[in-house]
Amino acid sequence: MRISRPKPPGWLEVWRSLRPPVRMLSVAVPALLMAALLALNLPFLKVQRVEVEGSSVVGRSQLLAEAGVAMGQSTLAVNTGRLTAGLLAQPWVGAARVSVHWPGTLVLSVTPLPPAMIYQRGGARELLTASGAVLGPVPSGPATTPLPVLLDLRSGRGPGAGSLAVSTDLATALVALARAFPSAYGVAASRFEITSVGALEIQSSAGWTADLGPVLTSAQVGSLGAKLEALRALAAKVNLKSATIKTIYLEDPSQVVVNP
């Protein structure tokens, strides 16, 4: 009796028929995938520690959440660009960078925006950036550089550190206006005020107040340019340094009203 050799499986015959380079590639690719899978799950390559460099105006846990840090994630899979973008998207952040220190440490470097205004609401005095974000309480002692003041008379408490107190458009406009006011109108803007109904008023160093109407929406903030141009036109006709002026109504720039 003659016993024949068992016939090899079909896949083996197909593999043997391949050219040597192709056969090597068919073995190398699965091996590399398996090695990568193992590397991603190595305990010492996972994010076990996060270091924060620079100065943060929010707590550590909030900072990590804003960046999108996932503890226990493999450092090989960490997208530092995405984490950096998450920090830069925060309104209080001026500069940020996220890097990996092997094997398992993540480093967050963050620098806040500089203060541009003093924001007062409900008895609290806080520093405000040009983006409208709260940096925290005004430090005690004399200020090295005087900052314009924004008094918010709306009800309720102001937002916490790192959050927007006013819209970025409004804050940027007020910071620019505080710098340009003396040269444009001949007097300084001693204080900005948001009334209880959300209208913007400017108190001048000459003693008069300019009422510019509501600034609660983007469209309302965008209309400030026409109102300030109307004030500039008025400055060419009226002495804005006069102590006899009490209020200038600019809500309708086509009909400016001066209350002596």
pLDDT at position 26: 54
Pull the structure tokens for residue 161.
Answer: 């550190």
Kindly provide the residue ranges of all beta strands, DSSP E only, lying in the chain, ordered along the sequence: 49-54, 93-101, 105-112, 117-121, 124-128, 134-137, 149-152, 189-194, 199-204, 209-214, 247-249, 257-259
pLDDT at position 46: 82
Return the closest-CA partner of residue 181 out of 159, 148, 150.
Answer: 148
Cα radius of gyration (the chain): 31
Find the helix packing angle between 80-88 and 60-67, rounded to 10°: 120
| Structural domains of the chain, ranges and CATH numbers in brackets | 45-112 (3.10.20.310), 117-259 (3.40.50)
Find the helix packing angle between 168-185 and 224-235, rounded to 10°: 10
Q: Which segments of the chain have a pLDDT < 70?
A: 1-45, 143-144
pLDDT at position 144: 62
pLDDT at position 38: 46
- pLDDT tens for 76-126 read 788 999 999 999 999 999 999 999 987 889 999 999 999 999 999 988 899
pLDDT at position 260: 79
- pLDDT tens for 169-182 read 999 999 999 999 99
pLDDT at position 34: 54
State pTM to two decimals: 0.80
- pLDDT tens for 59-70 read 999 999 999 998
pLDDT at position 40: 46
pLDDT at position 153: 96
pLDDT at position 200: 98
Pairing between β-strand 247-249 and β-strand 257-259 as defined by DSSP bridges? antiparallel
Helices and strands in the chain, H and E counts:
7, 12
Helix then strand then coil, in percent of the chain rounded to 5, is 35, 25, 40
Return the closest-CA partner of residue 212 out of 251, 254, 160.
Answer: 251
